[in-house]
C-alpha cells in the first residue's frame, strides 16, 4: 500500500511542477530547437480590410458611450470600420447611450446571453474581419491595425491581442498571473497556435467564425476549434487593450468561478478533449495548458491527503505536507496581513479553488447563457 501511495505522491507532485514550471520551460526549449513561427505576417501599410467591431453588452450604460468613443478613435479608416453594439436585453439605457455615442449599428435584442448577441451582430456585420471586445475594455489607437495585420497570413483564422489589467491598488494579484499567462501564450503562438484567447481584444475572419453553444464562450472554444478546422490561432502582443481589474482576490475568485462554469462544458462536451484534428504538438499544448491546469485543484487535494498518509515513511513526506499547510496558512493570513508573498499565496489558492467551484456550479445547476457584468470592473 505504501508503494502505491508513494507512486501517487510523486505522480501528483510531478504533474503540478510540470503544469506551473515544466510546461513553460518545454515551450521555451522547443522555440530554441526549432524555427518558431512569427506572431503574424506583416501586412502592407495600406492593408485595411473592412472590419466590424462587435461589442456585446448587458446593462453597460455606465461605460458603453466611452467604449464606442474609444472604437471610433482607433487609427483605422473610418469608412472601413463598422462599430456594432449588441444589447442583450439591457434595461439601463445601454441602447440609447450607444446610439447617442455614434455606434453604426445598435441591436436591441431580447435576453439570450453574450454568445447569441454576438451571433446576431455577426449576421448583420458588413466586415470581412470580425473583431470583438468587451464593453469595459479600452484599445490603444493602433490596436486594430496591428490585430488585423495577422490575417495577412492566409493560414490565420483567429487572432487575439494583449489585455493589460489596471488598478493594482487592491489585493488582487491577477496582473502577476496574467503576465505569466501572456508569456505562455506568446510561446504557443510562435510555435503553432494559442490554446485560449481573451474577450477584450480578438478577431476572426468572417469565413472562420464559429457558432458555438450559448453557454460556451469564445475565449476557450474558438482557438482549438480553429485548429481543428485547419486554421492557426495566434497571439498578437502588439495589439493592446486595457481593462479594469477586480480589486479584491475574493472578487477575482467569484469572476473566475463564473468563467470556469462556462469553460467546463467546453472541456466535458465541447470537443476540447477530442484529439481529432489536433497536430501532435498542439495536442500536447492542450493537455499541458488546459487539461492539466483544470485538473490542478483535484491533484492538490490528492497530494495533500497522500502526503499526510506518508508522513511516517520519510522526512521528505513530512516536509511536503508541511509546505502545503504553509501555503494554505499563508493564504489565510493574507486577509489580516496583506503582504505581497501572502497575497500571491492567497491568489493561487483562491483561483485554483475557483476551477473546482466552477465545475461544481456547472454539475449542480448547469451553466446559464446569460451573464452579469462585474460592477467593480466598470
DSSP-derived 3-state class of residue 217: coil
Strands lying side by side in the sheet with 51-57:
105-109, 81-88, 51-57, 129-133, 202-205, 156-166, 232-244, 137-139
Question: pLDDT tens digit string along 327-378?
Answer: 999 999 998 888 889 999 999 999 999 999 999 999 999 988 877 776 666 6
Question: pLDDT tens digit string along 26-55?
Answer: 999 998 887 655 544 455 444 789 999 999
Please report which confidence band the pLDDT of residue 76 belongs to, taking 50, 70 and 90 as the band edges. Answer: very high
- pLDDT at residue 45, as a whole number: 45
Question: Is a pLDDT exceeding 90 seen at residue 167?
Answer: no
Alpha-carbon gap, residue 310 to 231, rounded angstroms: 48
All three cell numbers of 47: 492593408
Strand-pair partners of 128: none
Lowest mean pLDDT among 34-38, 149-153, 164-168, 202-206: 34-38
pTM of the predicted model as reported, rounded to 2 decimal places: 0.91
- pLDDT at residue 202, as a whole number: 98
- pLDDT at residue 198, as a whole number: 94
- pLDDT at residue 82, as a whole number: 98
Q: What superfamily in CATH does domain 1-378 come from?
A: Spore Coat Polysaccharide Biosynthesis Protein SpsA; Chain A (3.90.550.10)
Are 48 and 128 in contact by the 8 Å Cβ rule? The answer is no
Question: Is a pLDDT exceeding 70 seen at residue 14?
Answer: yes
Query: Which among 21, 13, 85 has a CA at the least distance from the CA of 52?
Result: 85
Cα–Cα–Cα angle for 151, 154, 159, nearest 5°?
Answer: 35
Residue 85 phi/psi, 5° resolution? -110, 120
- pLDDT at residue 18, as a whole number: 98
* Greater model confidence, 37 or 269: 269
Question: Is a pLDDT exceeding 80 seen at residue 172?
Answer: no
Alpha-carbon gap, residue 77 to 122, rounded angstroms: 20
Residue indicated by cell numbers 492567497: 346
Amino acid at each position: 500500500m505504501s508503494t502505491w501511495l508513494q507512486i501517487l505522491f510523486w505522480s501528483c507532485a510531478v504533474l503540478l511542477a510540470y503544469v506551473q514550471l515544466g510546461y513553460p520551460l518545454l515551450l521555451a526549449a522547443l522555440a530554441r530547437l526549432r524555427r518558431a513561427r512569427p506572431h503574424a505576417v506583416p501586412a502592407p501599410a495600406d492593408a485595411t480590410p473592412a472590419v466590424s467591431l462587435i461589442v456585446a453588452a448587458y446593462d453597460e450604460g455606465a461605460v458603453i458611450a466611452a467604449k464606442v468613443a474609444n472604437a471610433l478613435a482607433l487609427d483605422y479608416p473610418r469608412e472601413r470600420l463598422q462599430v456594432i453594439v449588441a444589447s442583450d436585453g439591457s434595461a439601463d439605457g445601454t441602447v440609447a447611450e450607444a446610439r447617442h455615442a455614434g455606434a453604426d449599428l445598435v441591436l436591441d435584442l431580447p435576453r439570450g446571453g453574450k454568445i447569441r448577441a454576438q451571433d446576431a451582430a455577426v449576421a448583420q456585420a458588413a466586415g470581412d474581419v470580425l473583431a470583438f471586445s468587451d464593453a469595459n475594455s479600452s484599445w490603444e489607437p493602433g490596436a486594430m491595425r496591428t490585430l488585423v495585420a495577422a490575417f495577412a497570413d492566409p493560414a490565420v483564422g483567429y487572432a487575439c491581442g494583449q489585455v493589460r489589467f489596471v488598478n493594482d491598488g487592491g489585493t488582487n494579484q491577477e496582473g502577476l498571473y496574467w503576465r505569466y499567462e501572456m508569456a505562455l501564450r506568446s510561446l504557443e503562438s510562435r510555435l503553432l497556435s494559442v490554446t485560449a484567447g481573451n474577450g477584450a481584444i480578438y478577431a476572426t475572419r468572417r469565413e472562420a467564425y464559429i457558432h458555438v453553444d450559448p453557454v460556451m464562450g469564445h475565449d476557450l472554444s474558438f482557438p482549438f476549434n480553429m485548429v481543428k478546422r485547419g486554421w492557426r490561432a495566434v497571439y498578437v502582443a502588439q495589439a493592446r487593450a486595457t481593462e479594469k481589474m477586480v480589486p479584491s482576490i475574493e472578487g477575482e475568485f467569484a469572476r473566475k468561478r463564473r468563467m470556469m462554469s462556462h469553460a467546463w462544458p467546453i472541456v466535458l462536451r465541447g470537443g476540447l478533449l477530442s484529439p481529432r484534428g489536433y497536430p501532435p504538438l498542439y495536442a500536447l499544448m492542450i493537455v499541458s495548458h488546459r487539461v492539466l491546469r483544470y485538473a490542478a485543484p483535484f491533484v492538490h487535494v490528492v497530494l495533500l491527503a497522500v502526503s499526510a498518509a506518508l508522513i511516517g515513511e520519510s522526512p521528505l513526506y513530512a516536509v511536503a505536507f508541511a509546505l502545503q499547510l504553509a501555503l494554505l496558512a499563508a493564504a489565510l493570513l493574507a486577509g489580516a496581513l496583506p503582504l505581497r508573498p501572502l497575497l500571491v499565496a492567497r491568489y493561487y489558492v483562491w483561483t485554483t479553488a475557483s476551477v473546482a467551484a466552477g465545475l461544481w456550479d456547472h454539475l449542480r445547476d448547469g451553466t446559464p447563457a446569460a451573464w452579469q457584468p462585474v460592477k467593480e470592473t466598470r
